[in-house]
Amino acid sequence: MLKTLLRPFLGLGKLPADALPTLEAEGIHFLEEGLWGTITYRNYRAPSRYSSWRKRAFVGALVLTSKRVIACWGRERLLNVTFDQPLLAAVNFSLEKPDCLLAAYDAARFHADRSGQVELRFSTPQAGRVMELLRPHLTKFDK
């Protein structure tokens, strides 16, 4: 309860302030801050890190503009993919539940020094709307 009350004052789950002007210029279609979520690592390797399975909760932000999708956890961008990149097809977006958006991807596709699976889950009542906004962009790279 205390974390919920302090979240706005501590800036938890907010989009980095330096990113907002760029995203506004691109045209924001969806922005939600303070989203509860989890990040799951499976057979994950990165410099100085290894996890056969690890799950962490976070409070973050999710943004869709006319050009990209961004998921942030504090100042860290967990996902930042433009809709014209073929790399977008490497992210499997789905509705795990009506109020849970899942974005799963192979870490090696985004970083040469990493491997394993990464799963981002965002808890939002607007998960269905996010999928509707993403769907036209996801079909661009289908074969």
25-39 tens-digit pLDDT: 999 999 999 999 999
pLDDT at 2: 43
Task: Retrieve residue 91's tokens.
Answer: 């992210």
pLDDT at 60: 95
In a domain, 40, yes or no: yes
Q: What is the CATH number of the domain that holds 89?
A: 2.30.29.30
Q: What is the mean pLDDT of residues 6-28?
A: 81
74-99 tens-digit pLDDT: 888 999 999 999 999 999 999 999 99
Boundaries of domain holding 54: 17-141
In a domain, 100, yes or no: yes
pTM (2 decimals)?
0.88
In a domain, 123, yes or no: yes
In a domain, 9, yes or no: no
Domain count, the chain: 1
pLDDT at 136: 94
Average pLDDT, the chain: 91
pLDDT at 11: 62
Q: What is the mean pLDDT of residues 95-124?
A: 97
Q: What is the mean pLDDT of residues 119-123?
A: 98
pLDDT at 140: 78
